[in-house]
Every structure is written in structure tokens, then in C-alpha cells.
Amino acid sequence: MRFYERLRAIQRANNSLLCVGLDPDPEKLPMHLRYCDDPIGEFCRGIIEATSDLVCAYKMNLAFFEALGGRGWLTAHRVLSHMPPNIITIGDAKRGDIGNTAAMYASALLRDFKFTASTVNAYMGEDSVRPFINDPDRGAFVLALTSNSGSRDFQFLKVGGKPLYERVITKARKWNENQNLGFVVGATHPSQLKRIRHLVRDMPLLIPGVGVQGGDLKQAVRYGCDAQGEMALINASRSIIYASGHEDFKEAAHTSAMALRDEINLYREKFF
Amino acid sequence: MRFYERLRAIQRANNSLLCVGLDPDPEKLPMHLRYCDDPIGEFCRGIIEATSDLVCAYKMNLAFFEALGGRGWLTAHRVLSHMPPNIITIGDAKRGDIGNTAAMYASALLRDFKFTASTVNAYMGEDSVRPFINDPDRGAFVLALTSNSGSRDFQFLKVGGKPLYERVITKARKWNENQNLGFVVGATHPSQLKRIRHLVRDMPLLIPGVGVQGGDLKQAVRYGCDAQGEMALINASRSIIYASGHEDFKEAAHTSAMALRDEINLYREKFF
């Protein structure tokens, strides 16, 4: 199924725009998991089991798996094997390199791991993004305006009167023949989000930053969605996966995810 | 030893500015290696043995290892174990993410793999780069002006009259308290390289693009080096590692690396 259709289908099926970010930090795991064979794998499996009826997507932050060394790769594969088949899986890797190298990264993420989509850094331009959007069934989210403090260093620089992130968006939109491109826009920039949604029409926006990072959820929903109240993926990582640091982490993640999904849906009803 | 000192020391000891890029493509390996236990590992070991007296650095392109799946990580570790201790090893991964995630990537590259340096994409700003330059003994090369065709999409955009890549350089220079930062500048942009060397004074420049990509070697040496004819790392990958696709690949890599090193040194004598 084409990427955009697949995203809409799961957002409707689970009535959810919530994307849960899997950023598993070994130092934050519940104590009772730390001494099993594969603590990170077990932890992620628990989070997936507890939340998969409440989300449209999971975003796996590959940095946290790479930091585990060689076994991190195996753990990442194992985590992916627990994903229900209709949920979007995003390999959050923010890769970007010259064409022949980007093709290798795309192969690792889309063919080896079989992620449905990945995040991509477009600083190196078109040939660095192309391999991630060759397959119409797989998507890519290009970094536009990120949620972190460092986003102010370059992304807001004015280029011909417009901020750089807008130039990234208007240029990258031209690469979207396969209708499988989206953008990353942090919830920490609500007024810019409004303008960006206007620019991209109904393309998907991956919106991190509503949890620990302090972004504005109401505005993220109001301005992040397309005209049908869809095509935004509102990501929360730490506020859900570490909702409890104890044996009840699955129940706590479920409760936290349901509360966030429901709050998102409340705003959808209000604005759409 | 501090990163800049270490770089100068090996450039002097081996009388070389050559950096060999290890981008091992399984489809391009010599046939006789393809059926051993770890073809990529064996291939890279051969290249290192054949060239380590001729280089200042090896740049390992992590995409080619990630594309191998889980065993790619093990292979990368094995390749690193063959590196002579005084040679600079660059983890060419072009990572860039929010602070807590960048810290995980830096941990994977600098603590787990123990690379001397890494390449970093600064689109996400200061907090995405900081974890890579916290240790004064390890370096980071920030992408400024890359060698690929896509470099024209964003890097040349004018910001207040200056191209974006210059803004990246002038901003990132302010983060260089530990004297361990450098930049990536493609040899395919010789006139810009001249201006960039002027801007960065004696900071190191990692210069890809002289081989298959067609960059101008003479100008790369002339304008890439600091006033002492050092601190440029001239990278060649495919033209050396695939100099022969047969059993004599080591001899061919040695011959090709020596020819390139000597040509570089000819230009150094001419201009410095």
C-alpha cells in the first residue's frame, strides 16, 4: 500500500495520531529488566504490547540502539519483529550523504530493517534524499524545523526573505513524485507550524517535542493536521516510555499513551 | 594526545596528507574474497596492511557496514582492530540529532568504536555537535561544503550576502574551545576551498572528491592546506580500494595510494 494511504488507514483504524518514540536508555530501564538477556529488547516489547492499539506509528531512535554496540543491531531487529504489521515504523536515523552512500543507508533502513519510513537530513541536497523515496510504499521525513534549542542556529537564517527551513520544504516538495515525503517540524515552534502546514498542504508532518521538550500540544494538533484532521504524527518518547520506572511500566505507558491520544482527539474534535 | 597535535604528528611521520576511505561494497570485492567468512573484513584488512605507511588517516563510511545488517557492526569493529595505533580513524557517519540523542551517537562512535574523529551534520545546531567535541583528544569534521551534486541545493543559498556553508563555518568555529573541530569541504569546489581555508586559519579540512568524483587535486592541496602545508586530509576511496578487482588488490591499492600521496607531496613542495 502506498505510504500516504497506509498512514491514513492506520490513523483511522486506531483513531490516533500518536507516534510513540522508542529511545531506550539502559540507565532508565525498570530495575527488574536490567538483568535479563536483552533488557532493551524486553523493555521495547513491553511498551509495544501496552500501546499498539493506541498509536499510528512507532519511531525508533537508532542512536540508542547503536550505543549498545553490535548487539544493538540485533535488539533493533528483535524490537521490529514485535511490531503489529499495520503500524507505521519510522527509523529515526537522520541520515544524509552523497548518492551512493545514501543508497547504502536506505538499504539498511528500508530493506534490512524494513522500516516503513525514515528521517532524513537534506543538508547535502537531492541525491542524499532520493534513495529514501524511490519506493512509493516507504516514506521519508525530511528535517525542516527541529524541536531542539540548536534549531535556532541555522534553520531560521533568512534566505531571500524566507527562513532556511522554508527553503528546505519548498525544494524538497519538488522531489515528491511518489507521494511519500513528509517533514519533521518540532511542536516547540507552533506559529511556524501553522505556516508550514499551509505550505505543505496534505503532506505528513512528524511532530516531536510535545512531552519532556515542552511543546504546545493543542497548537501542534490545530496547526499540524491537514484539513481532515489527519497526517500529523504527534511524537512523544520519554513521557510515555518512562511514565513509570518500575514493574508497572507497561500499565503506566498504556495510561500515559491513552491520555495523550485522547487529548489529541479532543483537540481534533474541537478544530476539525 | 590532543586531536590537532595527533593529526600533525602522523602527517609528519608518514609524510602524507592522504586519507583512504573505506567504503567496502560487497559487489565490488575481488572474487577470491567473496566466499570467506568475513569478506568485507578481510578486504579492509588487506587495504590497511597495504597502505598504512602511506596515509595519515582512514575514513570508514559506516553506511557500507550498516548495509550488511547486524554482522556489519562486528565487521566494523574487526576492521578497527587492524588500524595501526597512531593513524587517525574517522567514523564517517554524518550524524546530527538533538542533544541527548547526539550523545548516544557520540558514545557509539567515540567510546564503543573508539574512532579518533567523526563527521557531523550541523543542520540541527550546536547541541547536535557538542557531544562529538567534548573530548579534546577526539575530533569532529562538520559538513560545510560537500563534494556531491546536491551540495548546490542548499549549501550555496545566500544568507546575508554569504553562502550558507560559510555561516556554518563561522558559527561552528565558535564551538572550538577544545581545538578539535574541522570541516568537510569537497575538492569539487576549488575556488570556495581557497576562501574557506582563509576563514578557518589552521583548522583541519577533510577533503573528499578527488578520485572518482573528479575534484581537482592540485587545487585541493594548494588551497586545502594550512600555511605549513598540513592540516588537509585528502580523501580518496574508490580509486584506491578498487584499483584492482582481482587477487592483486593489495598491491594495486598500495601503488595507487603511493602515487596519490606522492602527487600530493609534489604539490606541497611546489606551494609551501
Q: Which residues pair with A236 in a beta bridge?
A: A20
Looking at residue A215, its pLDDT comes to: 85
How many of the other CB atoms lie within 10 Å of CB of B104? Answer: 23
Q: Which residues pair with B233 in a beta bridge?
A: B206
Residue B190 CA to its chain's centroid (Å): 17
Supply angle C-alpha A260, A194, A3, rounded to 5: 65
Annotation marks residue A194 as catalytic: no
Could you tell me the pLDDT band of residue B20, with boundaries at 50, 70 and 90? Answer: very high
Looking at residue B214, its pLDDT comes to: 81
Low-confidence ranges of chain A (pLDDT < 50): none
Asked whether residue B102 carries a pLDDT value surpassing 80, the answer given is yes
Looking at residue B231, its pLDDT comes to: 98
Percent of chain B with pLDDT over 90: 96
Q: Look up cell 511514565; give the residue.
A: A243
Which chain A residue has the Cα nearest residue B113? A69
How many residues make up chain A in this entry? 272
Phi-psi region of B178 (alpha: psi -120 to 50; beta: other; left: phi over 0): alpha
Quote the CA–CA distance of A129 and A174 in Å, as a whole number: 12
On whether the pTM is more than 0.90, the answer is yes
B113-123 residue pLDDT tens = 999 999 999 99
- Whether residue B158 lies within 8 A of chain A, CB to CB, comes out as yes
Is there a contact between A69 and B73 if contact means CB atoms under 8 Å apart? yes
Closest to B231 (Cα-Cα) out of B1, B2, B6: B6
Looking at residue A69, its pLDDT comes to: 85
Q: Which residues of B137-150 are buried (b: 16+ CB within 10 A; e: fewer)?
A: ebbbbbbbbbbbbb
A174-185 residue pLDDT tens = 999 999 999 999
The catalytic residue among A94, A114, A171, A218 is: A94
Quote the CA–CA distance of B102 and A146 in Å, as a whole number: 14
A chain contacts of residue B61, beta-carbon cutoff 8 Å: 97, 101, 104
Q: Which three cell numbers stand for residue A69?
A: 554496540
How many of the other CB atoms lie within 10 Å of CB of B120? Answer: 28
DSSP 3-state of B160: coil
Closest to B9 (Cα-Cα) out of B142, B106, B116: B116
Quote the CA–CA distance of A108 and A117 in Å, as a whole number: 12
B3-271 to CATH, choices 3.20.20.70, 3.40.50.300, 3.20.20.100, 3.90.780.10: 3.20.20.70
Looking at residue A166, its pLDDT comes to: 98
Is there a contact between A148 and B99 if contact means CB atoms under 8 Å apart? yes
Closest to A209 (Cα-Cα) out of A230, A192, A226: A192
Looking at residue B143, its pLDDT comes to: 98
Is there a contact between A74 and B77 if contact means CB atoms under 8 Å apart? no
Could you tell me the pLDDT band of residue B41, with boundaries at 50, 70 and 90? Answer: very high
Compute the count of residue pairs across chains A and B with CB atoms less than 8 Å apart: 185
A5-42 residue pLDDT tens = 999 999 999 999 999 999 999 999 999 999 899 999 99
Pseudo-torsion of CA B112, A132, B157, B204, nearest 10°? Answer: 20
Q: Out of A200-209, A221-230, B25-34, B212-221, which region has the weakest mean confidence (pLDDT)?
A: B212-221
Which chain A residue has the Cα nearest residue B109? A67
Is there a contact between A168 and B147 if contact means CB atoms under 8 Å apart? no
Looking at residue B220, its pLDDT comes to: 97
Looking at residue B70, its pLDDT comes to: 81
What secondary structure does DSSP assign to B189-228, as a single string? -HHHHHHHHHHHTT--EEE--SSTT---HHHHHHHHS-TT
Q: Out of A11-20, B65-74, B208-217, which region has the weakest mean confidence (pLDDT)?
A: B208-217
The predicted complex's ipTM stands at: 0.97
Closest to B179 (Cα-Cα) out of B146, B197, B204, B154: B204
- Whether residue B159 lies within 8 A of chain A, CB to CB, comes out as yes
Q: Mean pLDDT throughout B145-153? A: 96
Question: Are B236 and B210 within 8 A, CB to CB?
Answer: yes
| B81 burial level (CB within 10 Å; 0-12, 13-18, 19+) | exposed
Q: Which residues pair with A79 in a beta bridge?
A: none
Question: Are A19 and A266 within 8 A, CB to CB?
Answer: no
